[in-house]
Structures are given as structure tokens and as C-alpha cells.
Amino acid sequence: MFGREFYIDPSRCIGCKSCMSACEECETHRGKSMINFDFIDRPERIATAAYVCFHCEDPTCAEVCPADAIKRGLDGIVQSALESRCIGCSNCVLACPFGIPKMQVAEEQMMKCDMCYDRSSTGKKPMCATVCPSQALTYVKPETIRRERREQPTNVFYFGNQRVTTKVFMMVPEDAGAVSVDVVDYMWEGRP
Amino acid sequence: MSVWRQPSRDPLWREEFPVHTEDERYVTRRQFAKFLTLTSLGMAVGNGWILVRSWIRRPSAYPSVSVARIGEVAVGGVKLFTYPTPNDPCILVRTAEDAYVAYSQVCTHLSCAVYFSAKTRRLECPCHNGSFSVADGSVIAGPPPRPLPKVVLERRGADLVATGMESA
């Protein structure tokens, strides 16, 4: 929107959780962060990754919703489940390949990152991109990313045979064209 | 979003439960024509019903209440009464030997009580100097937007009976 795109670069994340605090300030879900924050291989490393909803072009969460509650707008933003329709079944939570949707048990409603729709739809940056000190989460024009980053953005992901294209970009090494996640390998608990 | 779309090859369930908002809001020409037809039909039937109801005469909902006896009020005198309910104050004026008129006492401006001024021969409202004709209740001066509703009087023997209200 407004010529800017969202870019996620986990290699820049310093684990400060500023994005989570900023997200919690939102009026529509005050006190609840919609940022997905992970420690990567926590026993061995200090690496962290904060990421937002990738806003898929064909969102799996919406495809599996039995209540027709999740919609993707013309601007490509996949919104939280409509309050009047969501039945709290958690199908979307289970289906999303990125693990984004969050079930709010008290409200019986799924909520997720909507890229601070109140802000981004009027040309402002989402809260997380505004506060991220290392710009692991950034919301800038594509030419800015090309000029300032060594990594290249991609919005194509493979989860096994499922090809997912998204609105949000992930920064990957220069020689990588797409991000491929071996789901079965990831699920394998007997990894060394 | 295009105005015209080719027929979709998607299964019906996918068309009826679209993921994208532009698909959900898309209205086909057939849907639009159906909406126009049904709405027009509904409007026509509704208008017809209103017309038929206006043809059917309904009995008056107003009660017949004796408000005064002939001669009880002097010429130029008044009597206050309530009609049709105890919460609707009215005023009866004997304007001549054999002429009685009665109106709602509630001013049509801001609901103050009007009184009869024998000097000006008008029904006057003290709040904002509105005045009404005692002959027909019409507004002569002041801010009232409508005439006073008139009480229909009927003479039954020695009684004056209120039988209805007329709003001009």
C-alpha cells in the first residue's frame, strides 16, 4: 500500500520484543500482541525471529474457515476473523503454514496481524516496523530495500508441495530464490 | 474489479463463500435485476395496500363524552375538560348564545396551555405570544406551526358531547 511493502529479515532480529510491545498498544487488541516471536534452536543459540502475518495471496486460513469469516481485501491484507462470523473452531490456527492465527479463547475469536490496518491503510507504517531498532521488520519501498540490503526479498514459499505466494516479503540470501520448508523434516522429533 | 466477468469454472461452494472481499461484494447482473424486480414489486404492493386501507372506512376510535350541559357556560365563558384521554386537556368556549367550540388546550408550538381572551376573542398562548382564531383554531400570530386540533361537538338533548378530534 502506498508503494511500500513489508519486509522481514530474521537475521537482523535482536530479540528485544519492541515489536510485541508496540503491537500490544493497538486499540483493537490492547494487551495482546499479534507478533509471532520464536527462539530458534534455543538450547544452542540466542537467535530469535519476530514475524508478522505474511498475507498469502490464497490464504489457507480463509480457505479452511467453515464460517466464511476470514477475508482478504483488495489491498491484499488478510483480516482477522469477522467477529460476527467466527465460531472459534481453530481450523485456521491449525491450517496456516506459517502458524500465524491466534485463537483468543476468551473472545472465542481468531485474531491475527492485519498489518495495523488503521495505520497502513492511511499511509502510516505498522507499529512493529515503526519501533524495530534493527529494522528486522521494516515497511519501506522496494527500491529502498534493493539499495540498502545485501539480501534479496522473496515472497515465494514451499511447504512440501504447497506453493505459497505472499504479500509480505522475507529477506533471503542472494542466491536463494524461494524459501522451502521441509515440513516432514521439521516435524521429525528424533532429529539429532 | 471488473464490471463484467466471464462465467466462473469454480465450484459453486467457492463462489458462494469467496475468500476475497471483491468477490464477496461482486453483484452479478442477474442478482441486480432480481433485486430491482423484487424491490419494485414490494413497493407496488405496499402502495396498493396503503391505497386499499384508505378506502376501508374504520369506525371512529374516539369515545363520546359529555363535556358540559347547555347553559352551564355563560356566553364568552370557558370550561376546561379532558378529551379523548384524561391526559389531553381541552378548552370549551361559548362564543355566542347558541355557539360552542372546543379545542385542544395544548399549544402546537411548545405545548403550553392556551387560554381564551374575551377581549381579543382569541385563544392565546402566554409562553411565546402565539394566538389562534377561536372560530376555527387557525394560527393568527406567533410561532405555532399548526392550528389547534378541534374537538367535534354534538348536541344531544341538554348535553354537549365530544365525539372526535379534527386536525386541520
Question: Cell numbers 483493537 correspond to what residue?
Answer: A28
Q: Is the ipTM of this complex over 0.85?
A: no
CB proximity A62 to B under 8 Å: yes
Q: Report the candidate in B101, B108, B86, B164 with the shortest Cα–Cα distance to residue B116.
A: B101
Q: What is the pLDDT of residues B58-94, one digit of tens each?
A: 777 899 999 999 989 999 999 999 999 999 999 999 9
Q: Quote the pLDDT of residue B68.
A: 93
Residue B4 domain-assigned (yes or no): no
Task: Tell me if chain B has a CB within 8 Å of the CB of A74.
Answer: yes
Residue A175: per-residue pLDDT: 83
Residues B28, B105 within the same domain: no
Q: What are B161's strand-pairing partners?
A: B66, B154
Count of structural domains within chain B? 2
| Inside any domain, residue B105 | yes
Yes or no, beta carbons of A72 and B21 under 8 Å apart:
yes
Q: Chain A: nearest CA to B23, how far in angstroms?
A: 10
Q: Name all domains of chain A by residue range, CATH numbers in brackets.
A: 5-187 (3.30.70.20)
pLDDT category of residue B109 using cuts at 50, 70 and 90: very high
> Are B50 and B69 in the same domain?
no
Q: Report yes or no on B1 lying in a domain.
A: no
Nearest Cα of chain B lies from the Cα of A114 at a distance, in angstroms, of: 15
- Domain of residue B43 covers 12-55
- Asked if B76 and B18 sit in the same domain, the reply is no
B115 and B152 together in one domain: yes
B45: its cell numbers:
404492493
In sign, the C-alpha dihedral spanning A37, A165, A183, A103 is positive
CATH number, position B115: 2.102.10.10
B55 pLDDT tier (thresholds 50, 70, 90): confident
Residue B3 belongs to some domain of the structure: no
| pTM of the full structure | 0.63
List, in order, residues 6 or more apart from B128 with CB less than 8 Å away. B109, B110, B112, B142, B143
* Structure letter (DSSP) for residue A134: T
What does the pLDDT look like over A128-163, one tens digit per residue? 999 999 999 999 999 999 999 999 999 999 988 889
Of B115, B164, B162, B168, the C-alpha closest to B145 is: B168
Same domain, B89 and B160: yes
Task: Give A181's strand partners.
Answer: A159
Q: Are strands B115-117 and B159-166 parallel, antiparallel or unpaired?
A: unpaired
B28 with B84, same domain?
A: no
Contact B21/A70, CB-based, under 8 Å? Answer: no
**Same domain assignment for residues B47 and B72:** no
Q: Is A59 touching B (CB cutoff 8 A)?
A: yes
Same domain membership, residue B103 and residue B20: no
Let me know if residue B74 belongs to a domain: yes
Question: Residue B35's CB: how many other CB atoms inside 10 A?
Answer: 11
Helix (H) or strand (E) holding B164: strand B159-166
